[in-house]
Structure 1
Amino acid sequence: MKAYVYGAHGAAITEVARPAPKGTQVLVRVRACGLNRADLGMTRGHAHGNAGGVGTVLGMEWAGEIAGLGPEAKGVEVGDRVMGSGAAAFAEYTLADHGRLFRTPSNMNFEEAATLPVALATMHNAVVTNGALQPGQSVLIQGASSGVGLMALQIARFKGAGLVVGSSTDAVRRGRLKEFGADLAVDSSDPGWVEQVLKATNGDGVDLIVDQVSGKVASQNLAATRIKGRIVNVGRLGGAHADFNFDLHAARRINYIGVTFRSRTIEEIREIFDEVRRDIWPAVEARKLQLPIDKVFAFDDIGKAFEHMEANRHLGKIVATL
């Protein structure tokens, strides 16, 4: 089968053996796959958790049809239309645990479905489970113009947030954040953004920050968070190391929470998918939570899809179809 593999000379489409499902795994015939920032790093040989390096089939998000079942797989049948996340998504066939997928709604095509699994699981866990957002509370999404960021805005609005703030350093994308639920859009590269947030919250700061940027905004986040507020650290696109004002963190008694899928067990990941199904799945089926598709590429042009991502001018998801 065809797969997009990182090799000795970089990432390229290569013929590899079709995998066989074991245990609770299902075999999926992939019809579309979504690109994510972590994939871009892996095309350059960077590790993502335990994955990466020469011989790695790339990709972590897909939509397709179940083509085979492991002996312990339950709750699904061959032919079911599903979407999910996991390693080796950029291939004609991939494996997934039976608890790490969603059934694709009948009103959604494969391209649309491929945009959702990572964003839904990541941001429901960050905003609702760890962020503990309550109706009427205020929230700031750092890096809101990314695919997962746009989903975070929508989940916050759907869960009844009183004030939703989104950040983007790109003026055009920042100007579109209100389409996805933001009441206020700020430029996190402008030192004045903290004052904008404080002004919008009567000087208190927001109840919750979901941070995909980190780096130089880490201490600024502390200043923009209310006393006894929460910061959920999801990503580090702005840097994994930076100055951190420990005194301000203590003075404001902020609950600072780090999250990642890389160190979670499969049981923990199944629970995250179950929480999405229990809490917000009707809104997904009703198309109240969805992501725009910036551009669709044929799988044979997946290299061009990554060039498009690296140009960093897109809003929404980039998808490749098989």
Structure 2
Amino acid sequence: MFDALSSVPATMTAIEISRPGGPEVLVPAQRQVPQPGADEVLIRVHAAGVNGPDVFQRKGLYAPPPGASDIPGLEIAGEVVAAGSAVQRFKRGDLVCALVTGGGYAEYAVANQNVTMKLPAGLGMTEAAAMLETLMTVWMNLIQRGKLQAGESVLIHGGASGIGTTATMIAKAMGASKIITTVGSEAHREASLLLGADHAIHFLEEDFVTKVEEFTHGKGVDVILDIIAGDYVARNFQAAALNGRIVQVSVLKGPAKELDLFPLMSKRLTLVGSTLRSRTYQEKAAIIAELEAQVWPLIDAGQFKPQVYRSFALEHASGAHELIDSGVHFGKIVLTTSAHLGA
């Protein structure tokens, strides 16, 4: 290890899940600062993104993978303060963002060097902390598994979410011919259109299947990215075009309901799903390599920028979760530590 942790305290503030439940179960606690393994860096966290999997973990519905920290938080940005003996790419003082399997809601976190990257030029800590988990999820599902091509149409459910806003920007950058989102308010409709959607459907007032048929002149959409599930699964079959691809990213409304598989067969649809957290570091590194090649130039050109709705101090993580539960946000919510404030 090139740094003996001489400047790093023994303990830190972290957010624990005291019991499964609502936002109030997120409580600040004192924890030991983690020690980096041979191929890990220790990062003084400036900001951490808040994501849907954190909510599921808080509710007791999504356990961390074996060996991962029980502290929630999957994406961070900060400063490298120490590294393991096998780390070659980073040195003390490097500003980075990283994907972690847990432990992000803390003042310090360890990250494997393969899923750590230099802070992109033009992005601040809060923006960088709001990027990797969502961007990697969207890239893996919309581009790699959904195989969205230039000239194809896409339906993005949850258009105001971190996944939805990121998918909208990526679909636009990749040359999608028609981008349709579903949103829950007029304010979100306007914001989604401004971000790049061609049509934004207010799902509380409009049937998205009917509107998709209208917007595509009866053809349906080529790719559907869905974080909702529940009754949306069957309705996605109706909204999809012949040979369409449907990618399930989350299940906010629970299991599929009243599912008729005949449209899946008659339209020759493909239904796939995946999660990011359980993938190997090598798999995640391969995704990051594609992002560096294809998305980082978009960041440099100002064509892609994480949408940060609001930030909260780390100790107020419960407030951040109250906000994400409310659904009124557009884009990502971020936690910031004292390091971000210069303390």
Scaled to the shorter chain, the TM-score interval is over 0.9
Deviation of 1:19 (Å): 0.7
Equivalent residue in structure 2 for 1:276, among 287, 291, 306:
291
State whether residues 65 and 278 of structure 2, in contact with CA within 8 Å, keep that contact through their aligned partners in structure 1.
Answer: no
Query: Structure 1: how far apart are the matches of 2:132 and 2:233?
Result: 27
Q: Out of 147-156 and 127-136, give the one that drifted further.
A: 127-136
Q: Over residues 51-81 of structure 1, what are the superposed CA-to-partner deviations in whole Å (9 max), with x where a residue is unaligned?
A: 799x821211111011111122232222111
User: Is 2:81 the counterpart of 1:70?
Assistant: no
1:41 — aligned with what? 56
* AA partner of residue 282 (structure 1): P
Gap change, CA 1:225 and 1:49, over 3 Å in 2: farther
Is the partner of 2:242 in helix, strand or coil?
Answer: strand
Query: Structure 1: how far apart are the matches of 2:302 and 2:76?
Result: 18
Gap change, CA 1:184 and 1:102, over 3 Å in 2: same
State whether residues 7 and 56 of structure 1, in contact with CA within 8 Å, keep that contact through their aligned partners in structure 2.
Answer: no
Gap change, CA 1:223 and 1:52, over 3 Å in 2: farther
Query: Structure 2: how far apart are the matches of 1:183 and 1:29?
Result: 40
User: Is 2:157 the counterpart of 1:146?
Assistant: no
* AA partner of residue 116 (structure 1): M
Query: Structure 2: how far apart are the matches of 1:176 and 1:152?
Result: 14
For structure 1, list consecutive stretches of 5 or more residues without a partner in the other structure. Answer: none
1:104 — aligned with what? 119
Equivalent residue in structure 2 for 1:3, among 14, 18, 25:
14
Q: How does 1:188-199 map to 2 (within 5 A)?
A: 188-189=203-204, 192-199=207-214
2:9 — aligned with what? none
Q: Out of 197-206 and 250-259, give the one that drifted further.
A: 197-206
Query: Structure 1: how far apart are the matches of 2:278 and 2:73?
Result: 18
User: Is 2:106 the counterpart of 1:91?
Assistant: yes
Is the partner of 1:249 in helix, strand or coil?
Answer: helix
Deviation of 1:316 (Å): 1.6
Equivalent residue in structure 1 for 2:262, among 244, 247, 265:
247
Gap change, CA 1:52 and 1:271, over 3 Å in 2: closer
* AA partner of residue 37 (structure 1): G
Kindly report the root-mean-square deviation, in angstroms, between the aligned alpha carbons of the 2 structures: 2.0
Q: TM-score, normalised by structure 2?
A: 0.88
Deviation of 1:4 (Å): 0.5
Is the partner of 1:157 in helix, strand or coil?
Answer: helix
Deviation of 1:228 (Å): 0.8
Deviation of 1:191 (Å): 6.3
State whether residues 6 and 45 of structure 1, in contact with CA within 8 Å, keep that contact through their aligned partners in structure 2.
Answer: no
User: Is 2:39 the counterpart of 1:24?
Assistant: yes
How many percent of aligned residue pairs carry the same amino acid? 30
Q: How does 1:160-179 map to 2 (within 5 A)?
A: 160-179=175-194
Q: TM-score, normalised by structure 1?
A: 0.93
Query: Structure 2: how far apart are the matches of 1:52 and 1:174?
Result: 41
Query: Structure 2: how far apart are the matches of 1:82 and 1:266?
Result: 17
Gap change, CA 1:216 and 1:36, over 3 Å in 2: same
Query: Structure 2: how far apart are the matches of 1:126 and 1:293?
Result: 22
Query: Structure 2: how far apart are the matches of 1:296 and 1:281?
Result: 24
For structure 2, list consecutive stretches of 5 or more residues without a partner in the other structure. Answer: 1-11, 338-343
State whether residues 128 and 306 of structure 2, in contact with CA within 8 Å, keep that contact through their aligned partners in structure 1.
Answer: no
* AA partner of residue 161 (structure 1): A
Query: Structure 2: how far apart are the matches of 1:308 and 1:191?
Result: 25
1:137 — aligned with what? 152
2:312 — aligned with what? 297
Is the partner of 1:176 in helix, strand or coil?
Answer: helix
Deviation of 1:112 (Å): 1.4
Deviation of 1:310 (Å): 2.3
Q: Over residues 17-74 of structure 1, what are the superposed CA-to-partner deviations in whole Å (9 max), with x where a residue is unaligned?
A: 1111113211111001111122123233433453799x82121111101111112223
User: Is 2:73 the counterpart of 1:59?
Assistant: yes
Gap change, CA 1:187 and 1:269, over 3 Å in 2: same
2:7 — aligned with what? none
